[in-house]
Amino acid sequence: MPRTILLCSLLFISIQLINAQDKIAIDDRTGILTSELEEIIDQKLQEDGISYTNMVDFTKRCSYYFSVLQKSGDDLFLTVNDCNTTLLGEKNLGSRIMSAPLSEQGILISYAIMDIVSEPGKYISTTPTAEAAVLPPDEGSAAPRRDSAFADDHNTRYFFAPSAYNLKKGELYYNTVYFLIHDVQYGFSDYFSMGVGTTVIGLPLYFTPKLSFPVGKKSAFAVGDLLMLGTWGTDFLGNLAYGTFSTGGRNGNVTIGAGYLYTNENDITGQTSSLVSNFSAMTRMSSRLFLLTENYVMSANFNRTAWYYDNSNPDYYDYIEESFVQRNTFWYGILGVRIVTKSKSYVSWQAGLTYVVNFPGAIPNQYKSWDNDAVSGVSMIAFPTVSFTMKFKNK
């Protein structure tokens, strides 16, 4: 009798764990998933009470199934694990699916998932799985790793611009550009993070708090601030308060934002008040390669000097110098790629081309005939940018 009770209890607990799982995350190692295909899969799975997601809260990991899509030869294999990395089943979806219409791909993938989760253990073959053939021996078995692509490790930022997605509680994100600019961002909760950064010379020091609000499964809205302070004796002060919206999820997303920039009168710029707009986007090119862009449009005041020699008096020349403000509008952007390392998906490298286009403002009429140091004519500069990022995950 005690043995029967124990077996029944274990069976009940297993059923409760299975029933508690109502979401699935897919680690796509083939690049087959697109936003359109994800929508089809989600729609089909919801008919059977399961939601597709690409944002995993590991503090509630037993609410999720974890699936892997990968190729072995020309065939596409799908495996599904539970939250304890136990293999529930696997299916060979064949090679034709890679070139099939989106609707057919969505049906085949979603039906395969439902076959496995509805009858765990039925679809486990005795031959080596595609997962075992793909992963190096020290990377584990058929269970997907917690640091694999579905963990969405780099969706909180582009090159420098933040998205509206937030770090999870306890996560720390490190970023450096040329190893000359360094910053870290820490998730105090799933909705609030704070960052701090500076350059190797300590100028300037900046702080980046961000409060994020999820909107549906793949979208979020955030408000934040970028406070820049001069150090080493400079009196520079700049502040950018912003709001931003992101949608699309892991495999491709778009962010639009707007903010208000203020800088004080200092030895670098004149006092500036300006609206700043931002457009950033990311799309997945393959399992480990992403195309990124971020762009800003803003204006700033710059202190200029004009001078001339007054020779109206034949007895002497009078040198006259005056200051004025020129307001320039800038388009600043970066276009490049993110490469997620094969062994650790929470490590990535970004490489791109940074470009700055300057649209100079008008010179006051009274100074147009004077000699001056104002900028005239549209100009552009471009230079390469390389950055490194790493997330220290909350285990």
pLDDT digits 0-9 by tens, 96-126: 998 899 889 999 999 999 889 888 888 887 5
132 pLDDT above the threshold of 50: no
pLDDT higher than threshold 60 for residue 137: no
At 103 the pLDDT is 87
Beta strand 23-28 with 51-52 is parallel
Cα of first residue to Cα of last residue in the chain, in angstroms, is: 40
pLDDT above 90 as % of the chain = 38
Tokens 């944002």 belong to 55
pLDDT digits (tens, 9 = 90+) for 210-240: 999 988 778 999 999 999 987 655 778 889 9
pLDDT tens digit sequence for 333-358: 999 999 988 666 678 999 999 999 99
Structure tokens that stand for 73 in this block = 């030869």
Token code pair at residue 179: 């190893």
Domains and CATH numbers, the chain: 2-139 (3.40.50), 152-392 (2.40.160)
Distance CA 171, CA 287 (A): 23
Kindly state the tokens that stand for 36.
Answer: 């359109």
Query: Which has the closest alpha carbon to 151: 387, 336, 391, 342?
Result: 391
Pair of tokens at residue 118: 């509805």
Q: How is residue 158 written in tokens?
A: 């582009």
pLDDT mean over 50-57: 81
Helix/strand/coil for 104: helix
Q: What is the pTM of this model?
A: 0.60
Residue 373 has pLDDT above 70, yes or no: yes
C-alpha–C-alpha distance, residues 307 and 153, integer Å: 55
Q: Do the beta carbons of residue 242 and residue 258 sit within 8 Å?
A: yes
Sheet of 75-81, strand order = 51-52, 23-28, 64-72, 75-81, 87-94
Within 13 Å and on the Cβ side, how many CA atoms surround 76? 21
